[in-house]
Homo-oligomer: A and B are copies of this chain.
Amino acid sequence: MPTLLKTHRTFDGLTQFWQHASSATQTPMKFSTFIPAGAAPKGCLIWLSGLTCTDENFISKAGAQQYLATHGWMVICPDTSPRGLQLPNEHDAYDFGSGAGFYLDAKTPGYADHYRMETYVVDELHQLIQTKFGVAGDRIAITGHSMGGHGALTLGLRHPTKFSSVSAFSPICNPTLAPWGIKAFTGYFGDSPEARAMWAAHDATALVQAGKRHPKAFLIDQGTADDFYPAQLLTQNLADACKAADQPATIQLCDGYDHSYYFIATFIESHIRFHVAAAT
**Chain A contacts to B: CB under 8 angstroms:** 8-12, 15, 60-61, 63, 65-66, 223, 225, 256-258, 260-263, 265-266
Contact = CB atoms under 8 A, between A and B. Distances in A.
Given A61-B61, A63-B66, A9 B265 contact: no
B63 A265 contact: yes
A252 to B, nearest CB: 14
B266 A10 contact: yes
A77 B65 CA distance: 23
A242 to B, nearest CB: 26
Contact of A9 (B10, B12, B60, B262): B262
Contacts of A257: 9
Given A9-B257, A256-B9, A15 B65 contact: no
21 contacts: A8-B260, A8-B262, A8-B263, A9-B223, A9-B225, A9-B262, A9-B263, A10-B263, A10-B265, A10-B266, A11-B266, A12-B266, A15-B262, A60-B61, A60-B261, A61-B61, A63-B66, A63-B265, A65-B262, A65-B265, A65-B266
Nearest to A254: B9
Q: Which of A9, A15, A65 has the most CB of B within 10 A?
A: A9
Given A10-B262, A15-B262, A66-B265, 17 more contacts: A8-B258, A8-B262, A9-B223, A9-B256, A9-B258, A9-B262, A9-B263, A9-B266, A10-B263, A11-B266, A60-B261, A60-B262, A61-B61, A63-B63, A63-B66, A65-B265, A65-B266
Contacts of A266: 9-12, 65-66
